[in-house]
Amino acid sequence: MPTLVELASNHTELHDDDIAHLTALVSEWGMLADFSFADLLLYVPVAGAGGTNWLTASQVRAATGQTLYQSDLVGEYADDTDRPFIAGAAQSAQTQKGEITLPYLSDPVSMTAIPVTRIGKVIAVLTREVSTVSGRRPGQLERTYLSIFDDFATMIATGLFPFAGRVADSSVAPRVGDGVIVLDGGARVRYASPNAVSALHRIGIRANAVGQSLAELGFAHDAARASFERREPVVEELDQEHDVTLLVRSIPILKRGARAINVVGGVVLMRDVSELRRRDRLILTKDATIKEIHHRVKNNLQTISSLLRLQGRRLATDEARAAIADSVRRIRTIALVHETLSREPGEDVAFVEIVRPLIQLTQESLQSSDRPVRFEVRGDAGRLPATIATPLSVVILELLQNVVDHAFAEGRRDGVVRVFMHRDAQDDALHLRVIDNGVGVEEQFEIAQATGLGLSIVRTLVTTELGGTIAMRPATAQDRKDAGFDADDGVAGTVVDLRIPTDTAR
């Protein structure tokens, strides 16, 4: 379905500011429809050879009443029964009322056509359409809500609604059904809906609110006062007693006078968000607890690493000391992941924030003066869950250590290892390539047949824990060129390609 902006931009001569005004109106009209108990449609003018046609640019159904239209009318033009009222409202800049007929209804439909005015110019027409058949007399709530809608209709026709400024977020704003308090020009309560009265009771206000000011009730006075003074809606969240949190939106009712714009009343919408805020607090508490756990795990791993280093100093053989040093590096890699998770919200982590310090750790622990190697990281793996980030970090460490141990001959001083990462949205996987400009592996090399501990760890983690694939082969001239190496420098190089699924269902 086309949007209001698309229809207005493609079919009308409205300026961008006019379209923005209509967009702001549409962002508010769920509230208007609920106050009117009716369908609302927005028509924009489309110039044609036979005169002005009226295109339905947006539509909303009321949550408080039954709709007349089971199908969407957006993108359709007004028919002959609608057009006279719409055109009359646009030409006179006055609200027009009358009856129209729908082919699938036996009874007529009441239409109210309201000109949408901006800076003294009618830019669209808003219609309220409701069945004329009613089985009962409207009660006080319905009469009050219809009166509020009439006030907003007057504001729309005189260019005072919607309000200028940021478009409201309708997903969190209180709705009419949540509770309504109607104020007079002095901010005294003129009417409170049953749901509003129930909300007041939950926060301990049991006195009859009608006739009292919000200050006397001790409720939402600051929000109402600010909205009256600033002549714009004000949203405030109130933490009341009894662990009740109310989200309050105060909207002033304005009237254009001879010399000034006056505030003649207001509407306060309220929504009980106590359960939502309780869940938010639980999530924050849980998040803080998880961060603390990661922090403690990191500290414990560092303690184990320190103990192993102490143990390594007491060993007599070089082979045993090397084995302890390898274990220390692996533990420090896992500790690095937990340290990053302790600073991140949730259980996902920006993987590049792990890889960069991991590269630094590798340079500090594996470098030797006779074979200096430069490590580089390119690309971004995005955010990964800890269940992927932890084993993948160990895999990268083992691959880098394997390169340092086997790729460069003693005395080689221009060794470079580059790690490339990117996420593929099509197969929902992380692709990682490690390429060096070293001596390269043999053509018949198969990582599945490798017996070394490091590559065995890599193969097990990738294929078993990560559910991915790994291939290790000599680099081609194209590989070296793609990686930024000199393709004709006489060295072979090795490529390791990893594919790690990142879908949550795995």
Q: What does the pLDDT look like over 348-378, one tens digit per residue?
A: 888 888 888 888 777 776 666 666 788 888 8
Q: Which residue, among 327, 347, 345, 331, has the nearest Cα to 299 in the 3D structure? A: 331
**DSSP secondary structure string for all residues of 323-374:** HHHHHHHHHHHHHHHHHHHTTSSSSEEETHHHHHHHHHHHHHHH-BTTB-EE
The percent of the chain in helix, strand and coil, each rounded to the nearest 5, is: 40, 25, 30
Mean pLDDT (whole number) for 203-218 = 88
In which band, very low, low, confident or very high, does the pLDDT at 11 lie, cut at 50, 70 and 90?
A: very high
In which band, very low, low, confident or very high, does the pLDDT at 143 lie, cut at 50, 70 and 90?
A: very high
pLDDT of 136: 61
| Cis peptide bond upstream of 194, omega within 30 | no
> pLDDT of 52-111, one tens digit each?
899 999 999 999 888 888 889 999 999 888 889 999 999 999 999 999 888 888 888 999
CB 64 within 8 A of CB 177: yes
The more confidently predicted of residues 25 and 445 is 25
Measure the CA–CA gap between 397 and 393, rounded to whole angstroms.
6
The more confidently predicted of residues 368 and 480 is 480
Measure the CA–CA gap between 53 and 78, rounded to whole angstroms.
7
CB 484 within 8 A of CB 433: no
Measure the CA–CA gap between 42 and 126, rounded to whole angstroms.
5
List, in order, residues 6 or more apart from 206 with CB less than 8 Å away. Answer: 200
In which band, very low, low, confident or very high, does the pLDDT at 134 lie, cut at 50, 70 and 90?
A: low
> pLDDT of 284-341, one tens digit each?
666 677 677 777 887 888 888 888 888 888 888 888 888 888 788 778 777 877 777 7
> pLDDT of 183-202, one tens digit each?
999 889 999 999 999 988 88
Question: Which residue has tokens 């890889």?
Answer: 355
pLDDT of 371: 65
Question: Angle between the 140-157 and 16-36 helix axes, to the nearest 10 degrees?
Answer: 170
3-state secondary structure at position 69? coil
Looking at residue 449, the DSSP 8-state letter turns out to be: G
In which band, very low, low, confident or very high, does the pLDDT at 444 lie, cut at 50, 70 and 90?
A: confident
Q: Which residue, among 231, 394, 240, has the nearest Cα to 327 in the 3D structure? A: 394
Q: Which residue, among 324, 349, 341, has the nearest Cα to 288 in the 3D structure? A: 341
pLDDT of 504: 44
CB 89 within 8 A of CB 115: yes
Rounded to 10 degrees, what is the CA torsion of 381, 387, 392, 398?
Answer: 160
The number of C-alpha atoms within 13 Å of 221 and in the hemisphere containing its C-beta is: 10
Q: Mean pLDDT, the chain, as a whole number?
A: 86
Q: Both tokens of residue 102? A: 């729908």
In which band, very low, low, confident or very high, does the pLDDT at 411 lie, cut at 50, 70 and 90?
A: low
Mean pLDDT (whole number) for 243-247 = 84
Three-state SS annotation for 400-418: HHHHHHHCCCCCCCCEEEE
